[in-house]
């Protein structure tokens, strides 16, 4: 039995006009991307089978490609997370009607705003050099090396705690030197959880489109200042993923 066709949603925009965002290849078929409306809110959507979609690379790229396309022409974009599909246009209209009080508040907050991401990764050589300059760590390491594995058990725990404290202090330095200057030119900002052993900052910044050039310039200046010690991973522009919390009820196929 073939999957029934429903409505897959990408994002909300503020408009009363019907919009045509071209087509996108999905599930081996070229699909039109269009809008569904309630008052001055519109859901950007396409027809797609009603089922659970896995967030693999191809599907996620398709979702982001459509949102990026919308962002190129619209200045008020509220993103919807990947994989939300509803049975009918009417169901989607009901969803929009229920979301409308939230959207009324969100539209002014994200109008002409974009999200920028910055991850700061410490270079291995620099991190090792920094920690080996700490006399307490050096002495504790010497203590561990003098003892047998059994006898030095608690000394190794203490050495691990010192290494963790060093890393946290290094993260604070990076936050003060890199994150805080970017906060000053952002409408809103947040630090997300860091991943791996060398990530010192995982920042998200909501900025006005008119300040994008200034923001880029400051990031470049900070990179020049820190380039011998860390790597920058600079991403965007994105819609305000990290500054919006809209939860949709995904319909299970029946």
Q: Of 71, 116, 114, which is closest to residue 210 (Cα–Cα)?
A: 114
Q: Of 197, 224, 220, which is closest to residue 122 (Cα–Cα)?
A: 197
Kindly report the average pLDDT of the chain as a whole number.
86
Predicted local confidence at residue 253, as pLDDT: 36
Task: Extract the runs of DSSP E, i.e. beta strands, from 72-178.
Answer: 77-79, 85-86, 113-122
By mean pLDDT, which of 35-39, 80-84, 215-219 is the weakest? 80-84
Predicted local confidence at residue 249, as pLDDT: 46
3-state secondary structure of 201: strand
Position 136 pLDDT exceeds 50: yes
Q: Which residues contact 175 (CB under 8 A, 6 or more apart)?
A: 191, 201
What pTM does this model have?
0.79
């Amino acid at each position: 039995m073939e999957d029934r066709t429903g409505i897959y949603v990408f994002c909300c925009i503020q408009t009363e006009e019907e919009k045509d965002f071209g087509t996108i290849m999905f599930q081996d078929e070229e699909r039109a991307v269009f809008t569904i409306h309630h008052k001055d809110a519109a859901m950007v959507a396409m027809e797609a089978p009603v089922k659970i979609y896995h967030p693999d690379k191809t599907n996620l790229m398709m979702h982001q490609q459509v949102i990026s396309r919308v962002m190129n022409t619209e200045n008020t974009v509220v993103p919807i997370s990947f994989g939300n599909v509803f049975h009918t246009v009417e169901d989607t209209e009901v969803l929009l009607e229920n979301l409308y009080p939230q959207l009324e508040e969100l539209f002014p907050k994200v109008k002409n705003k974009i999200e920028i991401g910055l991850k700061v990764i410490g270079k291995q050589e620099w991190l090792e050099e920094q920690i080996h300059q700490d006399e307490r760590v050096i002495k504790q390491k010497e203590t561990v090396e003098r003892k047998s594995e059994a006898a030095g058990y608690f000394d190794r725990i203490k050495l691990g705690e010192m290494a963790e404290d060093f890393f946290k202090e290094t993260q604070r330095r990076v936050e003060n030197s890199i994150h805080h200057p970017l906060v000053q030119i952002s409408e809103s900002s947040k630090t997300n959880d860091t991943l791996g052993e060398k990530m010192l900052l995982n920042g998200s910044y909501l900025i006005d489109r008119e300040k994008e050039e200034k923001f880029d310039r400051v990031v470049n200046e900070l990179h020049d200042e820190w380039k011998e010690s860390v790597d920058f991973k600079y991403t965007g522009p994105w819609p305000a993923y990290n500054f919006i919390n809209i939860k949709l009820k995904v319909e299970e196929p029946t």
